[in-house]
Structure 1
């Protein structure tokens, strides 16, 4: 298995980071001066040190802190929901659920935690083996951490604003930690909940377990090079886990459905933002890249009109501040520096600007192109 993963990851192509000519240079980003990226190959003990002593790994450490902070915020919002649930006369009888009625009940809900742990370990091991270099490993892990942090913040808000009774038991009694716990106990609430020691009463919309496993699915869907075998194993594990969530009444069906949709949407928006940022930077596009591409390939008289006729998006969705935030979280600015596109101050280098202003492909007149394709 290990040899197959390694062969598949290297088959037919160079490691992506091999084109980064300045990856080993030391640059200052903000007030911190470090090597840009980890070494492509480990040849000496210094290379082992440089796996951790670079800007890419620093961003990874920040993303770990981000996930922990977001998890704690979600935990406090969940405790707020528990307090509201205990103080107000809510309906404490679990709601009817179509899938709960259709599926047999399994009492051991800890099976869900075991399947979650299996999914996380399988994904971590799979990408540790098949990723072609340390830069790729760090990028994939950082994306998972950043997106999951944002999802947990949004989930905490959803849990806090709408209180639903437990999907497992009627007249659920909230944990004493959530109601009267000390500051330290409240901080540990999240970790005890993940470990299965606590089972909150209102931890419903939407499913955090499903979100974490669906993010692993997205990692396999987007980043893997061995999709036919190993990605389908991941899909089957997650499918079994989702069914077990319903079998154990761990969540309502709507919690699972929303988690799948929200997680997929979050990954889609994040990856699309990174693609947009890459195109704007590499090709010196000003504004939305698709509109700029129309202008660069079509005669100026036709470009904007054709773009609006086909897409009708006078104001495309993507605020610039969101794009820069995602660039920082993804480490895209580090990779642009490693390629020599950006200098130490975050500006385009002279060589990059010269390349971008070189003659572009010939422009096309839309009227001539369409008149030639008309039926005779």
Structure 2
């Protein structure tokens, strides 16, 4: 690493750093579409591994010892309540993104991170099968054919794994997908809202913390599932945004050890044209309502063509 790059890393902060050419970072909607493909691939792969692993769960083996299971009894409807909290966080995050001036950048960051996490989760779910933490859970019966298995994969994928939507598979343990979603949603809400919205930030933190606690006392996951999920999603979020915020870290160097992270080339590909931290700039809700009010079916092709520019 050159002395100039070293000075940049020491002296610049995300607040001082400016996008490339001093202009607003480009939305790059094609990259957002590619990132969405990563999410589809990751969630589809994880769904397939969950369906396959359901047939491998040792039903007669008792649950493994768990410290928090000894402290808190199992609470009915805790898991469903955690999913309701997750849905509220999803709605909040969608509203924030739709009002954000750089929505396409935020969307692709969420898609990339969630897709990679669920790819890794699919591997972890299948390679090590743990006994069910709940002895009274009624697991899905083994699939009778390949077509039935694929139908289950599609159903699980379309319902995003929610138990309130009919998900009932065992062996879906290491690591907790609900903790990934709840923690990730909080991190994005906290990152892409203005600092003066302290009530929203504090509420999202409280609800996400309570949601993770509900996942634990529902006994749908072991404590280690939640710990591993929290560790992975926070480290991936912080690593991705640190490399994206500092263009100097995107350069190959023997002194930049982040280059050895598998995430580094992915961040460089998706964020090379951003040039720094994404400013939290929001459009007026009236702008969106005017766009909807001015929509005409005859203008659909023209709007579609200009959408990718």
> Same-fold call, TM > 0.5?
yes
CA contact (8 A) 1:221 1:231 kept: yes
1:52-131 equivalent positions in 2, closer than 5 A: 56-85=28-57, 91-108=60-77, 109-129=79-99, 131=100
Q: 2:182 aligns with which of 177, 189, 213?
A: 213
Q: Distance in 2 between matches of 1:103 and 1:286?
A: 49
1:272-291 equivalent positions in 2, closer than 5 A: 272-276=242-246, 278-279=247-248, 287=253
Gaps of 5+ in 2: 1-15, 276-309
CA contact (8 A) 1:71 1:153 kept: yes
Shift of 1:280: 5.7
Larger radius of gyration: 1
Equivalences, count: 255
Instruction: Name the residue aligned to 2:118.
Output: 152
1:78-134 C-alpha deviation (Å, 9 max, x unpaired): 22222322xxx56532223222232243222322221111111112223434x3x2x
Gaps of 5+ in 1: 1-12, 24-35, 38-55, 292-314, 337-376
Q: Distance in 1 between matches of 2:213 and 2:62?
A: 23
316-325 vs 196-205, which moves further: 316-325
The reply on whether 1:263 has 2:233 as its aligned counterpart is yes
Q: Distance in 2 between matches of 1:71 and 1:245?
A: 20
Shift of 1:286: 6.4
Q: Distance in 2 between matches of 1:251 and 1:75?
A: 17
Q: Normalising to structure 1: TM-score of the pair?
A: 0.60
Query: Are the structure 2 counterparts of residues 257 and 249 from structure 1 closer, same or farther at C-alpha, using a change threshold of 3 Å?
Result: same
Instruction: Name the residue aligned to 1:318.
Output: 259
1:24-63 equivalent positions in 2, closer than 5 A: 37=27, 56-63=28-35
Q: Distance in 2 between matches of 1:154 and 1:178?
A: 27
Shift of 1:242: 1.0
Instruction: Name the residue aligned to 1:240.
Output: 210
Q: Distance in 2 between matches of 1:178 and 1:95?
A: 29
1:171-194 C-alpha deviation (Å, 9 max, x unpaired): 754344497624333322333432
* SS state at 2:129 partner: coil
Shift of 1:196: 3.4
1:220-272 C-alpha deviation (Å, 9 max, x unpaired): 34333235221111101101111111222121111111111111111122123
Q: Distance in 1 between matches of 2:265 and 2:139?
A: 45
The reply on whether 1:161 has 2:130 as its aligned counterpart is no
Q: Distance in 1 between matches of 2:173 and 2:119?
A: 14
CA contact (8 A) 1:122 1:234 kept: no
1:328-363 C-alpha deviation (Å, 9 max, x unpaired): 233x33x46xxxxxxxxxxxxxxxxxxxxxxxxxxx
Q: Distance in 2 between matches of 1:178 and 1:164?
A: 23
Query: Are the structure 2 counterparts of residues 150 and 185 from structure 1 closer, same or farther at C-alpha, using a change threshold of 3 Å?
Result: same
CA contact (8 A) 1:273 1:318 kept: no
CA contact (8 A) 1:82 1:174 kept: yes
